């Protein structure tokens, strides 16, 4: 069968289906689906994404058969609508819109009211009986087409419109008459010709193909490319083009247009949530020029609602809401228009939602019997939980609220004010926290929104660009804050009470309340709702891989346990050495020339270490705890300040110079590859011996005195050869046995190693003859596999990622092809030698959803991550178990 390029929908039928998103794009597939389940959708057709791909492959040429298919489908629309494209008496007007596989809100182009010219406008006057409406539609079309298709600078036509309003002494577009619009159409066309040397196309067919070309072309515009990069959308997907008969929400007071969500996208509450504008076109709602009215009184409002103004349409809309939720079994984001009292559905798609809403909706839908538990778990993206785990404002802290806007996206952030996206990006690059303040945002601001901590806009509703994009990014956002007047020229905004905030001043946003505060207000950690707990219960039903935490203190361990950690996968003991009370003794130990001096210093540290471990074991209540012996190069502990050096010389009774000399001698050119990890244990066995003794005494004491059951896991870092491990294990075993015998108790323990060096991974079969467990230290393993310094990569890695040389920062998301291959191989080799060997990961990747899924696939027993990422890892592990790609 010949390849089909165009799919028709309308009149209760459709050639496409919801599951044809790859071919028809999200919008096209859902229009087809809505049409075939009998919802009122204006008829139209979708040109497939394959045409887009071909278009770019073939030097921007269309497949030969496309023209005939478009013509035939246009005829079908004409027949259903009883109107003819380009007809002088009864013309058909169409919209031309993009629609990719993944939603890319506002990133690509749209043309409305297409088919208008000096002849057909007469037909529209005859159809609508409204000359002003007809010319208003005409001028909107010319403006949009000139901008989108012809590449005319927007400001030129906007300026002519402003000039007209000034001449007429009116402030709003509504003050202009039919004659004014008619005159403006002529002025616009002249300006286009003067500027571009090209006449505005009068022929509707030429207009149509111009718009189709522009929409395909917009797939490759800069903002679409940026958006794809940020959201990992491949360029090969392409966009579809939807051509659909126009319906008008601006033909009078029995017309309206709006957007709605079948549940509240911010909180997830189960009520019909939406906004609309009477006598307006779709772009008026999203552009945030007029403040939209709610569709009902589910939440208090002073504005008249759709339910009150248009009860019949509202009731029909409520039924459609139910039909759609039952059909799609998910919260939907809807666009609708009412033309002369008749409701039309223009779009439905799975609605973007905040993390709390995602959880509430998933949990509620299970209770309502709409979805099963597996689906609920898969509905919440692990990365989304990050948003939920964001802090909120400390309720006890004083706050100076200077303005209130809409609570568009939750979270609480402080930062200094900037007014442009470029500034936001530049400031963020040098590590500053900024709040981007705009009158309203547009897709051009996307990079700045990404860089900013939070976003504040003066105009626009809960469905404005700023609100929708911020929510998607999980960024705190206060939108539609009419309390502030933004003045770009003076780089300041003025609040209602007269407070002036200038560029660089610090403000705080509360995206859950919509409040804007002067200065930085302190925040408190997250409080999780009951729904979160319910979801996590479901998550744990499906997850097979354990989740541990990286924690060095009883406090961190406690937080992690509250988040569901099932053990400690990494306790970095060196963090305990930095404590103010201990650092002097640690330095004494490092700087002692003789064993005796070192042992004296270690004897001071030992009881403190033992106390640390008792604290950790207590907190973990019998769950596994892996303690890593000292890892970093010793010079990291040395004093830099003269004052500290002097103090140390007094305690140690040696000269300042002697200490300085020792510090110099410890200098390394490449400390990451130097005297660190197990190499310290080999050369200064007394250090590891002290640590092992502290661990075992802590365990034995708790077992003996408090009846604990503990199996300490002693972990040796940076092993490259089996011999290193063999020597260190022998020492450790001797001490463990000695301590156990002294306490007269039975305590089991494990001695294992980190796999952090390629040589260790390559010889894992041999290493497993000694190691009772492996924990993949993928931070170092990434560093050493790539030959990429963890400390210096920041200078060039971002460039690599931005330019696609690396798909992602390999220190954030595991490089599965390279480093991952080593990990997988080491697992297989290790299991070959010791089938029951315990395998885990404790590099930062243990909290990255993609990496967690990889770890599940290669059969690790657990991942270990920072406490706040434990829920993310649990959810990712469940997704992995449920086969989520
Ligand atoms: C690692 O290298 O992955 C690791 C967990 O150890 P550290 O980050 O302490 O070097
Ligand atoms: Mg390491």
How remote is the CA of residue 756 from the centroid of ligand 2, in Å? Answer: 6
Cα–Cα distance between 791 and 237 in angstroms, integer? 37
Q: Per the residue annotation, which of 465, 635, 856, 879 is the catalytic one? A: 465
Answer yes or no: is pLDDT of 650 > 90: no
Tell me the C-alpha to C-alpha distance, in Å, between residue 111 and each of 138, 208, 215, 557, 774: 12, 9, 9, 56, 59
How remote is the CA of residue 798 from the centroid of ligand 1, in Å? Answer: 21
Q: Per the residue annotation, which of 52, 313, 700, 842 is the catalytic one? A: 842
State if residue 756 touches ligand 1 by the CB under 6 angstroms criterion. Answer: yes
Cα–Cα distance between 648 and 584 in angstroms, integer? 7
State if residue 779 touches ligand 1 by the CB under 6 angstroms criterion. Answer: yes
- The pLDDT score that the predictor gives to residue 824 is 98
> How much is the average pLDDT of 38-62?
95
pTM: 0.79
Q: For a pocket test of ligand 1, which of 568, 673, 754 has the largest count of ligand atoms closer than 8 A to its C-beta?
A: 754
Q: Which of 177-186, 596-605, 648-657 shows the lowest per-residue confidence on average (mean pLDDT)?
A: 648-657
The DSSP symbol for 199 reads P
**Burial tier of 491 (Cβ tally within 10 Å: 0-12, 13-18, 19+):** middle
884 compared with 853, residue with greater pLDDT: 853
State if residue 842 touches ligand 1 by the CB under 6 angstroms criterion. Answer: yes
| 779 CA closest ligand 1 atom index | 3
| Residue 465 annotated among the catalytic residues of the structure | yes
How remote is the CA of residue 778 from the centroid of ligand 1, in Å? Answer: 7
Render pLDDT for 296-343 as a digit per residue (tens, 0 to 9).
Answer: 999 888 999 999 999 999 999 999 999 999 999 999 999 999 999 999
Q: Whose CA is nearest to atom 10 of ligand 1?
A: 780
- The pLDDT score that the predictor gives to residue 633 is 86
CB half-sphere exposure, 443, CA atoms < 13 A:
16
How remote is the CA of residue 819 from the centroid of ligand 2, in Å? Answer: 14
Strands 546-550 and 523-524: unpaired
Answer yes or no: is pLDDT of 106 > 80: no
SS3 of 296-335: CCCCCCCCCCHHHHCHHHHHHHHHHHHHHHHHHCCCEEEE
Render pLDDT for 366-416 as a digit per residue (tens, 0 to 9).
Answer: 999 999 999 999 999 998 887 677 778 887 899 999 999 887 787 899 999
Q: For a pocket test of ligand 1, which of 628, 780, 814 has the largest count of ligand atoms closer than 8 A to its C-beta?
A: 780
Q: Whose CA is nearest to atom 8 of ligand 1?
A: 779
**Burial tier of 638 (Cβ tally within 10 Å: 0-12, 13-18, 19+):** buried
Q: Which candidate, 472, 434, 470, 439, places its Cα nearest to that of 453? A: 434
503 compared with 461, residue with greater pLDDT: 503
State if residue 572 touches ligand 1 by the CB under 6 angstroms criterion. Answer: yes
- The pLDDT score that the predictor gives to residue 827 is 98
Q: For a pocket test of ligand 1, which of 572, 716, 719 has the largest count of ligand atoms closer than 8 A to its C-beta?
A: 572
Render pLDDT for 651-707 as a digit per residue (tens, 0 to 9).
Answer: 888 899 988 988 888 889 888 899 999 999 999 999 999 999 999 999 999 999 999
CB-based contact 751:627 (threshold 8 Å): no
Q: Whose CA is nearest to atom 9 of ligand 1?
A: 572
Render pLDDT for 18-38 as a digit per residue (tens, 0 to 9).
Answer: 999 999 999 999 999 999 999
> How much is the average pLDDT of 833-839?
98
Render pLDDT for 410-435 as a digit per residue (tens, 0 to 9).
Answer: 789 999 999 999 999 999 999 899 99
Cα–Cα distance between 122 and 295 in angstroms, integer? 34
Render pLDDT for 699-737 as a digit per residue (tens, 0 to 9).
Answer: 999 999 999 999 999 999 999 999 999 999 999 999 999
How remote is the CA of residue 846 from the centroid of ligand 1, in Å? Answer: 11
How remote is the CA of residue 831 from the centroid of ligand 2, in Å? Answer: 22
Answer yes or no: is pLDDT of 512 > 90: no
| Residue 842 annotated among the catalytic residues of the structure | yes
Strands 273-278 and 293-294: antiparallel
Ligand 2 ion: Cβ-proximal residues, 5 Å cutoff? 756, 777, 780
């Amino acid at each position: 069968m010949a390849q089909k390029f165009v799919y028709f929908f309308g009149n209760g039928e459709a050639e496409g289906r919801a599951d044809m998103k790859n071919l028809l794009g999200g919008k096209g597939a859902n229009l087809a689906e809505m049409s075939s389940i009998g919802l009122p959708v204006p008829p139209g057709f979708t040109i497939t994404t394959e045409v887009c791909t071909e278009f770019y492959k073939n030097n921007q040429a269309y497949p030969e058969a496309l023209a005939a298919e478009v013509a035939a489908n246009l005829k079908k629309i004409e027949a259903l609508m009883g109107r003819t494209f380009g007809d002088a008496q009864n013309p058909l007007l169409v919209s031309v819109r993009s629609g990719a596989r993944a939603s890319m809100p506002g990133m690509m182009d749209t043309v409305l009211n297409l088919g208008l010219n000096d002849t057909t406008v007469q037909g529209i006057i005859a159809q609508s009986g409204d000359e002003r409406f007809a010319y208003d539609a005409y001028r909107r079309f010319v403006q949009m087409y000139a901008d989108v298709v012809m590449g005319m600078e927007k400001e030129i036509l906007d300026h002519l419109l402003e000039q007209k309003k000034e001449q007429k002494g009116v402030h709003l577009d509504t003050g202009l008459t039919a004659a004014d619009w008619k005159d403006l159409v002529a002025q616009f066309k002249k300006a286009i010709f003067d500027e571009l040397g090209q006449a505005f196309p009068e022929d509707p067919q030429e207009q149509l193909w111009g718009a189709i070309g522009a929409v395909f072309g917009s797939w490759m515009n800069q903002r679409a490319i940026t958006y794809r990069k940020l959201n990992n959308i491949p360029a090969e997907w392409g966009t579809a083009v939807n051509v659909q008969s126009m319906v008008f929400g601006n033909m009078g007071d029995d017309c309206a247009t709006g957007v709605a969500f079948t549940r509240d996208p911010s909180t997830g509450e189960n009520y019909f949530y939406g906004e609309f504008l009477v006598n307006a076109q779709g772009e008026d709602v999203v552009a945030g020029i007029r403040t939209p009215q709610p569709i009902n009184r589910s939440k208090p409002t002073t504005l008249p609602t759709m339910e009150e103004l248009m009860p019949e349409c509202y009731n029909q809309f409520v039924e459609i809401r139910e039909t759609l939720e039952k059909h799609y079994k998910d919260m939907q984001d809807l666009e609708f228009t009412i033309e002369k009292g008749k409701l039309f559905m223009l779009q439905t798609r799975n609605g973007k939602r905040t993390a709390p809403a995602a959880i509430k909706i998933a949990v509620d839908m299970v209770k309502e019997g709409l979805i099963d538990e597996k689906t609920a778990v898969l509905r919440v993206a692990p990365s989304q939980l990050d948003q939920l785990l964001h802090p909120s404002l400390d309720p006890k802290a004083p706050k100076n609220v200077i303005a209130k806007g809409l609570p568009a996206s939750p979270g609480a952030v402080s930062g200094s004010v900037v007014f442009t996206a470029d500034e936001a990006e530049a400031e963020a690059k040098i590590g500053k926290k900024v709040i981007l303040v705009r009158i309203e945002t547009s897709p051009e601001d996307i990079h700045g929104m990404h860089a900013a901590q939070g976003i504040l806009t003066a105009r626009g509703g809960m469905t404005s660009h700023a609100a929708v994009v911020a929510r998607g990014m999980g960024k705190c956002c206060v939108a539609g804050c009419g309390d502030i007047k933004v003045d770009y020229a003076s780089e300041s905004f003025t609040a209602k009470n007269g407070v002036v905030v200038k560029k660089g001043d610090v403000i705080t946003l509360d995206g859950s309340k919509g409040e804007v505060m002067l200065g930085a207000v302190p925040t408190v950690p997250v409080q999780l709702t009951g729904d979160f707990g319910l979801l996590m219960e479901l998550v744990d039903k499906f997850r097979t891989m354990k989740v541990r935490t990286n924690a060095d203190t009883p406090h961190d361990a406690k937080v992690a346990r509250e988040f569901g950690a099932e053990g400690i996968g990494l306790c970095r003991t060196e963090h305990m050495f930095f404590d103010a009370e201990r650092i002097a003794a640690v330095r004494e130990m490092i700087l002692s020339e003789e064993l005796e001096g070192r042992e004296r210093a270690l004897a001071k540290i030992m009881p403190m270490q033992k106390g640390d471990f008792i604290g950790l074991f207590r907190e973990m209540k019998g769950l596994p705890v892996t303690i890593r012996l000292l890892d970093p190069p010793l010079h990291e502990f040395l004093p830099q300040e003269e004052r500290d050096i002097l103090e140390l010389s007094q305690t140690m009774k040696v000269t300042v110079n002697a200490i300085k000399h020792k510090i110099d001698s410890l200098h390394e050119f490449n400390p990451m590859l130097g005297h660190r990890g197990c190499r310290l244990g080999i050369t200064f066995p007394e250090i590891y011996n002290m640590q092992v003794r502290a661990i075992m005494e802590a365990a034995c004491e708790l077992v003996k005195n408090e009846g604990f059951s503990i199996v300490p896991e002693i972990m040796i870092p940076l092993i490259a050869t089996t011999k290193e491990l063999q020597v260190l294990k022998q020492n450790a075993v001797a001490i463990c046995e000695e301590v156990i015998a002294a306490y007269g108790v039975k305590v089991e323990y494990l001695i294992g190693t980190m796999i952090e060096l390629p040589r260790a991974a390559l010889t894992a079969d041999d290493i497993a003859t000694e190691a009772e467990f492996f924990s993949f230290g993928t931070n170092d393993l990434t560093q050493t596999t790539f030959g990429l310094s963890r400390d210096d990569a920041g200078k060039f890695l971002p460039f690599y990622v931005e330019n696609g040389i690396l798909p992602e920062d390999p220190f954030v998301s595991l490089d599965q092809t390279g480093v991952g291959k080593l990990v997988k191989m080491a697992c297989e080799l290790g299991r070959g030698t010791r089938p029951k060997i315990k395998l885990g990961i404790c590099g930062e990747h243990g909290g990255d959803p993609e990496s967690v899924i990889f770890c599940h696939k290669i059969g690790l027993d657990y991942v270990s991550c920072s406490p706040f990422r434990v829920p993310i890892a649990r959810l990712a592990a469940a997704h992995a178990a449920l086969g989520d790609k």
